[in-house]
């Protein structure tokens, strides 16, 4: 698949308003500030594709990007809720829409979970992993901002995350990534191709 061809399709506030549930899609999730938008932009080689998702008022929406003209292959940007100062009621709504989407979206083939390599497996990440596990949904973890660590430290962070997730090794894969340096893009593309074309 040609990821630079990605273009914004639509935003949906709820599962009911998502585009037709056919073909295949991969969703990106991550705690706010983990580097999710930057990862999507690096993958698609577009400077501001995922910025749409950061426009105030759109942060709680599920954003869809089409990878070709036929709309059969899609990338999905899920709202991150880590640091957002929002009322508890809004947060709960948000979680409900997210878990609805993960549980019921038939075309969803896999989840890319973006984590800052220096702060992996936050509470948000563990919630997402738990939901994915409930659905036997495969997860690919991007340990991003790898450029912030020396090579040895990044490699050992990768090993630590892998070993903490050993019991899920059939469902979870992990890689280092840097949007800044363009590190790990091919590995990510290979994972997405396997899900979207498989």
Which residues are near ligand GDP by CB under 6 A?
Answer: 30, 32-38, 80, 144-145, 147-148, 178-180
83 vs 104, beta carbon nearer ligand GDP: 83
CB of 28 to ligand GDP, least distance (A): 9
CB of 19 to ligand GDP, least distance (A): 22
CB of 50 to ligand GDP, least distance (A): 7
171 vs 179, beta carbon nearer ligand GDP: 179
Task: Output phi, psi for 50, to 5 deg.
Answer: -80, 0
103 vs 126, beta carbon nearer ligand GDP: 126
What is the rounded CA–CA span in Å between residue 44 and residue 36? 12
CB of 43 to ligand GDP, least distance (A): 12
14 vs 33, beta carbon nearer ligand GDP: 33
CB of 34 to ligand GDP, least distance (A): 4
104 vs 148, beta carbon nearer ligand GDP: 148
Integer angstrom CA distances of residue 154 from 20, 169, 176: 40, 20, 7
């Amino acid at each position: 698949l040609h990821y630079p061809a990605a273009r914004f399709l639509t935003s949906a506030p709820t599962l009911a308003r998502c585009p037709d549930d056919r073909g295949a899609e991969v969703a990106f999730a991550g705690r706010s500030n983990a580097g999710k938008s930057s990862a999507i932009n690096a993958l698609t080689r577009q400077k501001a594709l995922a910025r749409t998702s950061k426009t105030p008022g759109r942060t709680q929406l599920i954003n869809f990007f089409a990878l070709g003209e036929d709309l059969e292959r899609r990338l999905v940007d899920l709202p991150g809720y880590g640091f957002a100062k929002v009322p508890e009621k809004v947060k709960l709504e948000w979680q409900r829409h997210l878990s609805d989407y993960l549980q019921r979206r038939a075309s969803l083939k896999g989840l890319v979970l973006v984590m800052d390599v220096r702060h992996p497996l936050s509470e948000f990440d563990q919630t997402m992993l738990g939901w994915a596990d409930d659905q036997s949904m495969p997860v690919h973890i991007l340990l991003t901002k790898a450029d912030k660590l020396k090579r040895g430290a990044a490699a050992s962070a990768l090993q630590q995350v892998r070993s903490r997730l050993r019991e899920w090794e059939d469902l979870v894969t992990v890689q280092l990534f840097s949007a800044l340096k363009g590190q790990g893009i091919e590995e990510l593309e290979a994972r997405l191709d396997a899900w979207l074309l498989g």
